[in-house]
Amino acid sequence: GKNAIVITAQADRELAIKDLVKSAFGHAGQKCSAASLAIVESEVYHDPIFRRQLRDAAASLAVGPSTALYNVVTPLIRPPSPALLRALTTLEKGEEWLLEPKQDPQDPCLWSPGIKLGVQPNSWFHQQECFGPVLGIMCATSLEEAICWQNATAYGLTAGLHSLDPIEQKRWMNQVEAGNLYINRPITGAIVRRQPFGGWKRSSIGAGIKAGGPHYVRSFSRFSDSEQVPFSIVSARYSEAWKRTFSAEHDPSNLRCESNILRYRPRRGVILRLAKKDSQILERAQLASQLTHTPLLVSIAADESDREFIKRLGELCLHSDTLRTVKPPSDTVLQAAYEHNLNWIDAPITADGYSELCFWLREQVISQTLHRYGQIPAWIPKSRQKRSTP
């Protein structure tokens, strides 16, 4: 992923720095969930105190071999890749070092943290995965612009926001495109069940079902109907699954100090490719599409050849992110789907709503710190303030 934390003028700046440094430089920035970018609102970006504190926080991290337990930034698992080496040693147009990284003369895999200012929208560093101890800072004029830049990469694994404004928090949650969202906390360290882990866009594969979540084991199975099921029963099962599970928000951990909400968001669109017209499959697909509010596009191989379908795929992808089949299509279709960054789901459309609706939705977890330095605010419902049962 190319993960970013947005920091607005309504943030607790010292807390934002603490969480940003932990997210960017823990494990030398090699975690797939690590923060590679900070998109900072202009007022904060130009604040000399913010810059000084950010630089000091990163520069004070202990750097050295992993055999010394007090070291925070330890050697890379291998020599830097060409992309990481470029990020560690080169400034692009408009960039400058707030903290220049240094290579250890005794260990080519050990680098101190680096922070570069002035990263430009759609620049190389904005878009490129690096996986190392280097952080880029972008200056945004507003939260809307920051969200636009945060969503502008091909990836969508983790995303963070630091703001104490509930209106900003809600706006950000409704617009950001990533699988794991974090508010006023680090964006690394997901915990099984509490924060099921998995991304969107190029940070996912297939159905993109989250590891450590309620549907993960199910994703290793392939379901099919053992008998004919009337559409009225299918409709009832789909509706029940939608009402009880997929239309609701879930926080099974129910911690006093932190919310961890699992919710389900519509896919951008599903392209259903069938060998021939099948009224049962189409009825179920249309029902799933209506319940989940996920657009459905249908292509029938008997009416549209592979060549014609592939030619039209670029246009279809403007409104879709998923190719759905019930039997594997030709290799040429799969190659075209890969080139257009489509997730491919190959599974029968069954009568079981819990199995089927997973394929029409994207899981998203929102993890938010609720306390302020250990104090639970009065606005948090009493039910949440009661310590949950393990």
What's the whole-model pTM score? 0.94
Whole-number percent of the chain with pLDDT over 70: 97
pLDDT tens per residue, range 116-166? 999 999 999 999 999 999 999 999 999 999 999 999 999 999 999 999 999
- What's the rounded Cα separation, in Å, for the pair 175 and 188? 21
Cβ pair 177, 200 in contact under 8 A: yes
Q: At what angle do helices 166-175 and 143-150 cross, to 10 degrees?
A: 30
DSSP-derived 3-state class of residue 134? strand
- Least confident piece of the model among 134-138, 179-183, 224-228: 224-228
- Which residue segments constitute the domains of the chain, with CATH numbers given? 3-189 (3.40.309.10), 217-250+264-364 (3.40.50)
pLDDT higher than 80, residue 389: no
- What is the spatial distance between Cα 131 and Cα 387, in angstroms, rounded to a whole number? 37
Contact criterion met (CB below 8 Å) for 280 and 302: no
Q: Among 97-101, 190-194, 230-234, where is mean pLDDT lowest?
A: 190-194
pLDDT at residue number 159:
99
SS3 253: coil
Q: Is the pLDDT of residue 69 over 80?
A: yes
From residue 358, alpha-carbon distances to 161, 206, 324, 361 in Å are 27, 11, 12, 6
The candidate with the shortest Cα–Cα distance to 61, out of 105, 14, 27, 11, is 27
pLDDT at 80 over 90: yes
Task: Give residue 383's pLDDT.
Answer: 59
Average pLDDT over residues 77-82: 97
State how far Cα 385 lies from the chain centre. 28
Q: What are residue 29's phi and psi, to 5 degrees?
A: 70, 15
**What average pLDDT does range 300-304 have in this prediction?**
96
Tokens 């879930």 -> residue: 250
Confidence of residue 387 (pLDDT cuts 50, 70, 90): very low
Residues 6 or more apart whose CB falls under 8 angstroms from that of 313 comprise 271, 336, 337, 340, 342
Q: What is the mean pLDDT of residues 335-355?
A: 97
pLDDT in tens, 23-62: 999 999 999 999 999 999 999 999 999 999 999 999 999 9
Per-residue pLDDT at 269 exceeds 80:
yes
